[in-house]
Every structure is written in C-alpha cells, then in structure tokens.
C-alpha cells in the first residue's frame, strides 16, 4: 500500500511519497536511525509535488487553518491534483500521513482520502523538516530561514493581538495583584505594629485597624511630644474624640522605651509606604470593578465583582468559564478536596470559590449545598450571556440575582419562585422596549428634519416664483413705456407736418414734398 506524507512548511505545501514500506514495515526505530543520513533517507522519501504560498498573508491564513484543523480550498485542490484518484465503491490503495490528526479527519470527511498520524509518520516528517532545503532545488540559501522567521513573527503577533483584545486578561492580572497586595499590606502592617510598639505599646489596644494604626503612628511620631493640641488632628483621623483623648492619656503614661530620631524616621517612612500600598489597593479595586462592569456585567451583578473575577481567573478566561458546565463551576477552586474525596471515597465538596458569595452564607446549613448548586447554574448562564452576547447589559444579571433571592425565600418560607423561562422572556421584552424607545426619538427628529427641508424647499420655490412675477411685471411696464413713447413721437410728427409753410408735407419717411398746383389746361 502506497503512502504519501503532507508537510506544511513556511513556504508552501509539500507532498512526498514514501518508498520501500514493505522492507521497512513502518519500523519507527529504523526511520529514526536513517533520518540523519540524507543518502539513506532520500531513497525512502521522495518529493512528489510542491505548492508555494502566494504571499506572507496567504501563508499566515494557511497556517491558521492548519492549526485549527481546517482544510482550505488551496490544500484540497493540491491534494486532489497530485494524489491518485479514489474510485467510488472501492478502497483506496494509498494513505496520507499528517502531523495534525484534526486536519486528517477533516480531509477524510471531505475527500474520502484515508489519513493517518502516528509515531512513524511524525519521524518521517521530522526527517523531511531536517532535509527540506535539499528536496526543493530552487530554494536559495537563507530563503527558508527567512520565511520561517517571518511566518513565526506574524503568527505569534496575530495570537498576541487576539489575547490583547480579550480584556479578561486584565481582570485576571488585577485580581492576582489584589490578592497579593492584601497579603503584603497585612504583613507590613503587622511589622509596623510590632516596630512602633517598642515605643508606644498601648496604641495597639486603642487602634485596631491596620491602616488607621499606620496613620496615627506617623502623626504621633514621638509620644513624649503629645499634647492637648493633637486632639483635633487625632479626632480627624480616628473619627472619635474619646479615642483621641484616650491616645493622649496613654501617651503620657506609656511604658514604652524611647527611640532615637533616626529610628523614628525609619518607622515613619515604613508607615507611609504601608499607607501608600493601602491607597493603591483601593484604586486597584475600583479599576477591577469598572473592568468587570465592562467585561462581565451580568456575572458581576449576580455574584459580585470579586467572586466573579476569581472565577474568571481560575478558569483562565471568560470563554473557558462560559464553556464550563454548572457542576464544574460549583466546585471551581476546590479541586484538591474533590480529588481527595474521590481517592478516599468520602463526601465530595459542595462548593468552591462561590462560597465567598453572600447567598451561601445566608442559607441554612442543610440548604447550603442546594443553594450552591442553584447559584452555580445561574452563574453559568450569566457567564455565557456575557461571553457571547453582542451588547453589554446588567438586566440579565439583576433578574438572575432576584431568582436566587426567591430561591432562598422558597427554602426558608416555602414561597414558590418564578420559572426561569418567564423571567428570561420578561428581560428580553424589556430590552426590546428600550431599543424601540431609543429609536423613536431618532425617527421623530428625522421626520422633523425632513419637514424642515420640505418647508425650506417650498419657501425657496415661492421666492423664485415671486421673483419671476416681478421680472414679468417689469418687462410689461417697459413694453408699455416703449409703446407710449412711440405714440408720442408719431403725434409730434403729425403736428410738425401741419405746421410747415409752402404747402410742404412731411411723408412717413420724413421727407417734405411741394404740392404741385394743378393747372387746368384748356384746349385751345
């Protein structure tokens, strides 16, 4: 049975035929030893056809299709042109070796060409990759390396751009940093307490909050300088005048040792760093809240920004979380307990990261598992809406939260909750109404603008008509003036004819002629 091997290089598709399979018998070790020697390997594998890529963009598209297990039109025409034709109703007498099993299954479904991908084929492809520049004679030295480098850069750049556009990476980094800051601030604040307690040990019992303790220790500096004048400043920081007076009294009767100015400066500097970290932690939390409202608004409205961000971070991305079934999402974060229970055949955990939500804490002990399962179901729905919906809205998350509240009431009081289908229909109808209301003012404004345009056109037409009427009237007046002037001239001419002496008459041509007296001739 003949065998062909398809090799996807950076410069094009190469189809190679494997000879002597009967002698080798698909022995992986024999191929592995003969790969390094081109003279031996060249007898077994020979180039049949090569289809170069048209451009770097074409190469990138082909490689993306191969990595996704999709056969392009160019690859299909290349295989159908160079491989033996498969007759209908008969088994093919050859097979095609590939490195990607997904691509092989797609080729077999589309063209009925039998494909295989195993260790023997991979060893053959390794040899082809090693000696590929020898198989293609027209390649210049360095061309293959340049094409590989350019394709690798464009392929990795496309993948990085894809990941950058997935903004949930920012949420993952922010929640990791937030957890790290919580640990660091806690440990640093304990260090400030321990360090400053050598100087003022009574302050630890008066001020319990770490952030306030750092502020007060920086403000007090040296306890021996505490006076009644510090009460307004301490009241502003602590928010309680009684506590401020207690700090002043404790400073006067403190049992702590005195510190040198240099030591106090170091304590103050470290306390300032702890305060800066705490302030940055607040800003980072606000950033995380805004990011979650943009990326997963429904999940954040349902379970909260912190728990939702931890779920996305643990799943790896919002898409991975959306692909998880609700049973997986329920125990997400409790994998160790799950596998321990499976190993020891004990009880599996009821919840993972979703335990930090307020719903499970409010449920009774016997209903914690039930509400965790229900909450995981709603979180799965919310994550899928956020991942695959076109527009961002919190309407679904708010309604899902109401459903969880109703389920809690059902477990406590027995009040029957609404069905999920009815709730989702209500949300969709409300969103459609909002869209229609948003479109109506736009349509009304468009109609108004059209009316204004129509009115403007009518006014322009009226103005043009008025101007035309005025011009016609002017022309008529001018004609009348001309006619009257001509009549006046004619009447003046007639008067001058009558008034001329010697019997001269003025003709129409303006010439005067003398009347000849007719003499009566008498016949003699």
pLDDT at 495: 54
pLDDT at 494: 55
pLDDT at 470: 59
Beta bridge partners, 512, equal 506
The whole-angstrom separation of Cα 50 and Cα 220 is 81
Decide if 368 contacts 348 (C-beta within 8 A): no
Instruction: Say which residue the tokens 């389920």 belong to.
Output: 407
* Burial of residue 338, with CB atoms counted within 10 A of its CB: 0-12 exposed, 13-18 middle, 19 or more buried: middle
pLDDT digits (tens, 9 = 90+) for 327-374: 999 999 998 999 999 999 899 898 899 999 989 988 888 899 999 999
The whole-angstrom separation of Cα 499 and Cα 504 is 9
- Over residues 35-48, mean pLDDT: 80
Q: Check pLDDT > 80 for residue 402.
A: yes
Confidence at 195, pLDDT banded by 50, 70, 90:
very high
- Over residues 277-290, mean pLDDT: 94
pLDDT at 305: 92
Reduced to 3 states (helix: H, G, I; strand: E, B; else coil), residue 25 is coil
Residues 6+ apart with CB under 8 A from 334: 349, 351, 352, 353
Treating both helix axes as pointing N-terminal to C-terminal, what angle do 143-165 and 56-67 enclose, rounded to 10 degrees?
60
Q: Check pLDDT > 70 for residue 476.
A: no
pLDDT digits (tens, 9 = 90+) for 200-245: 999 989 999 889 999 999 888 888 888 888 888 889 888 888 888 8
Residues 6+ apart with CB under 8 A from 34: 40, 41, 44, 127
Q: What is the DSSP letter of 353?
A: G
The whole-angstrom separation of Cα 338 and Cα 330 is 11
pLDDT at 190: 94
Instruction: Give the global pTM.
Output: 0.58
Q: Check pLDDT > 60 for residue 504.
A: no
The per-residue pLDDT of the chain, averaged, comes to 81
pLDDT digits (tens, 9 = 90+) for 240-276: 888 888 988 888 888 888 888 899 999 999 999 999 9
Confidence at 489, pLDDT banded by 50, 70, 90:
low
Confidence at 465, pLDDT banded by 50, 70, 90:
low
Q: Check pLDDT > 80 for residue 443.
A: no
Confidence at 519, pLDDT banded by 50, 70, 90:
very low
* Burial of residue 445, with CB atoms counted within 10 A of its CB: 0-12 exposed, 13-18 middle, 19 or more buried: exposed
Q: Check pLDDT > 60 for residue 120.
A: yes
């Amino acid at each position: 049975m003949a065998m062909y091997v398809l090799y996807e290089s950076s410069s094009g598709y190469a189809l190679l035929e494997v000879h002597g399979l009967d002698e080798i018998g698909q022995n992986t070790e024999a191929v592995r030893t003969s790969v390094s020697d081109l003279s031996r390997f060249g007898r077994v594998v020979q180039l049949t056809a090569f289809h170069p890529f048209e451009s770097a963009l074409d190469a990138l598209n082909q490689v993306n299709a191969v990595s996704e297990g999709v056969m392009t039109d160019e690859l299909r025409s290349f295989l159908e042109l160079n491989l033996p034709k498969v007759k209908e109703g008969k088994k093919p007498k050859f097979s095609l070796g590939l490195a990607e099993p997904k691509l092989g299954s797609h080729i077999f479904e589309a063209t009925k060409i039998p494909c295989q991908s195993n260790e023997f084929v991979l060893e053959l492809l390794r040899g082809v990759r090693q000696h590929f520049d020898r198989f293609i004679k027209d390649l210049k030295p360095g061309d293959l390396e340049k094409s590989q480098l350019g394709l690798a850069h464009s392929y990795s750049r496309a993948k990085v751009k894809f990941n950058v556009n997935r903004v949930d990476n920012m949420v993952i980094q922010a929640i990791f940093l937030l957890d790290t800051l919580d640990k660091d601030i806690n440990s640093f604040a304990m260090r400030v307490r321990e360090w400053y307690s050598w100087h003022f040990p009574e302050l630890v019992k008066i001020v319990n909050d770490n952030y306030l303790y750092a502020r007060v220790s920086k403000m007090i500096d040296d306890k021996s300088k505490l006076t009644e004048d510090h009460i307004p400043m301490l009241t502003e920081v602590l928010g309680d005048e009684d506590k401020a007076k207690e700090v002043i009294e404790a400073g006067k009767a403190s049992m702590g040792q005195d510190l040198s100015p240099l030591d106090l400066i170091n304590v103050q500097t470290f306390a300032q760093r702890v305060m800066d970290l705490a302030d940055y932690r607040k800003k980072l939390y606000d950033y995380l809240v805004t990011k979650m409202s943009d990326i997963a608004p429904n999940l954040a409205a349902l379970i909260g920004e912190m728990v939702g961000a931890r779920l996305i971070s643990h799943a790896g991305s919002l898409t991975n979380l959306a692909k998880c079934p609700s049973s997986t999402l329920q125990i997400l974060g409790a994998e160790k307990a799950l596998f321990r229970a499976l190993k020891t055949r004990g009880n599996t955990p009821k919840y993972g990261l979703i335990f930090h939500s307020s719903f499970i804490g409010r449920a009774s002990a016997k209903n914690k598992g039930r509400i965790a399962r229900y909450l995981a179901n709603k979180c799965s729905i919310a994550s899928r809406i956020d991942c695959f919906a076109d527009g961002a809205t919190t309407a679904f998350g708010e309604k899902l939260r109401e459903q969880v509240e109703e389920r809690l009431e059902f477990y406590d009081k027995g009040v029957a909750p609404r069905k999920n289908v009815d709730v989702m229909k209500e949300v969709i109808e409300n969103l459609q109404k909002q869209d229609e209301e948003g479109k109506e003012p736009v349509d009304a404004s468009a109609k108004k603008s059209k009316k204004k345009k129509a009115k403007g056109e009518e006014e322009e037409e009226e103005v043009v008509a008025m101007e035309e009427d005025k011009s016609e009237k002017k022309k008529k007046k001018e004609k009348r003036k001309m006619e009257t002037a001509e009549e006046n001239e004619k009447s003046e001419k007639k008067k001058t004819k009558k008034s001329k002496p010697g019997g001269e008459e003025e003709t129409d041509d303006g010439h005067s002629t003398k009347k000849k007296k007719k003499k009566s001739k008498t016949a003699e």
